[in-house]
Amino acid sequence: MGRKKPRVLLIRPKYTSLVANLEPLGLEYLAGLAKELKINCRIHDEFQYPWAMRLYRLVRRIEHGKFDFIGFNANANTVDIIIKRARQLKQRFPNITIMVGGPEAELNYKEFCTDDIDIVYYDNGLMTLKKMWSEGYTSDKLRDLSGICYKENGKWIIKEKGAPVCGFITKPDRTAFYKGLKNNYIFMKGKFALSKASFSCPYNCTFCYCTKMNSGEYTERDLMEVVDEIEELKHDKIWFVDDTFFFDKERVRAFCNEVLRRGLKKQFMAYARADFLAANPDILPLAYKAGFRDIMVGLEAISDETLDEYNKQTSRNENIMAIKNLRDAGLVCNGLFVINYTATRDDFRKLLQFVKGNNLLWVVFGIFTPYKGTDAYDEYKDKLIHFKSWRLDGTHLTLKPTNMSSVEFMLRYYWLHAVTYPKIIVRAMLGTAYDTKKKGWF
Ligand code: SF4
């Protein structure tokens, strides 16, 4: 530790995901910062490697690269593996510094205050990290920083979080993206680069994790900076991972006009809320012209009652209007649904009817999960079952279904996929999956 420049290895732990394998954008921002500070830094993205021999591979990489600063990127479903890995690595390399950051650390930093982890990074933005890497990270230095937990005489010190941010202090180093391109995919959609143009979300759905980020404050990046970034990106498909990209109509208009003015030929995917899409059909043709094709819409539920329960602040009618408006503009609605643990057999049946009745081809079904740090967690924490970190990915039950057995619930959940996904596959293979006017299988 001290002033000697660290040799940094950033790790994205692998987890099961059948629908996508994407670039580690969060870590690429850290790599970008390291590059700026002339620090030797590599990303070890476990998604690029098989499941077998993960620890062996990691240990070899640390030995060969002589890395002495390890940064883990934590999601809700990788907490246990990170804690375990930190223990294993500390046994082999007692002198390395282990830091944990990422979305889960930002919300639930205390989970990582263990014996084998040295620093938990939960600040908004990377300014604290910049100071750590340039001025050192001994406890006398860390004492003055915000948004970190560290140890002094074996005792955890928790420094208050800094102010919300509205931009990045550096550019991402996309080496990992270009290198990992052959393995990059989104189910039936192809390879996507990621970009983030805003932080957090102005809404407050009970189950949502994203809205708690950036101290719960929604902020936007400078728009021209975002367009510059996508112009520089050597890839044609870009997914804006903003929690809701279509929020401010004038900003969307300005973005589209700038993309058209610069003549950028890119294909965009982004999140939008049903109420926005229902109320603003006029902006959608321009969005199409600028290159938007995939719109991810958190439809969540098909009854006003469940939508209210989720505090979604949308309605069934808005969901229907949103799907229609997107279809009319030639934009693909990717309907995201959250199946409640209270779902009845009839609810499952009606959901399929809704999907068919509204000619929705692209659908994603998740299971209601009260992630730690969300409002739902406070409400349901006494009722949780099998709440193990690796199960927290929205495809496992963490609350006992109230209207059927867990086995039946899961069979019905798989059935939703069995009924809807073959059509996506057939249409994608025939090249008609983006024809929003088509109804059938071909
Ligand atoms: S679910 Fe979507 S709209 Fe709701 S709070 Fe989260 S990001 Fe915002």
pLDDT 10s digits, 185-239:
999 999 999 999 999 999 999 999 899 999 999 999 999 999 999 999 999 999 9
Q: Whose CA is nearest to atom 6 of ligand 1?
A: 208
Name the closest-CA residue to atom 2, ligand 1.
243
Counting atoms of ligand 1 from 1, which one is nearest the CA of 243? Answer: 7
Please state, in angstroms and as integers, the Cα–Cα distance from residue 193 to each residue in 268, 280, 400, following that order: 10, 27, 37
H or E stretch at 295: strand 292-300
Tens digits of residue pLDDT in 121-180: 999 999 999 999 999 999 999 999 999 999 999 999 999 999 999 999 999 999 999 999
Supply the Cα-derived Rg of the chain in whole angstroms. 22
Instruction: At 267, list the tokens.
Output: 């294909």
Q: How far is the CA of 242 from the centre of ligand 1 (A)?
A: 10
Q: How far is the CA of 258 from the centre of ligand 1 (A)?
A: 27
Asked whether the beta carbons of 126 and 162 are under 8 A apart, the reply is no
What is residue 442's predicted lDDT score, i.e. its pLDDT? 84
The arrangement of secondary structure in 187-430, i.e. its CATH architecture, is Alpha-Beta Barrel (3.20)
How many CB atoms within 10 Å of residue 379? Answer: 12
- With a Cβ cut-off of 6 Å, ligand 1 is lined by 201, 203-205, 208, 210-211, 243-244, 273, 298
Ligand 1 centre to CA of 144 (Å) is: 34
Q: Which CATH superfamily is domain 7-158 in?
A: Cobalamin-binding domain (3.40.50.280)
321-342 pLDDT tens trace: 999 999 999 999 999 999 999 9
* Pocket probe mutation, ligand 1, options 107, 210, 240, 338, max atoms within 8 Å of Cβ: 210
> How far is ligand 1, taken at its centre, from the CA of residue 97, in Å?
35
Q: Where are the domains of the chain?
A: 7-158, 187-430
d(CA 340, CA 332): 25
Please state, in angstroms and as integers, the Cα–Cα distance from residue 267 to each residue in 230, 231, 287, 364, following that order. Answer: 11, 12, 10, 21
pTM: 0.96
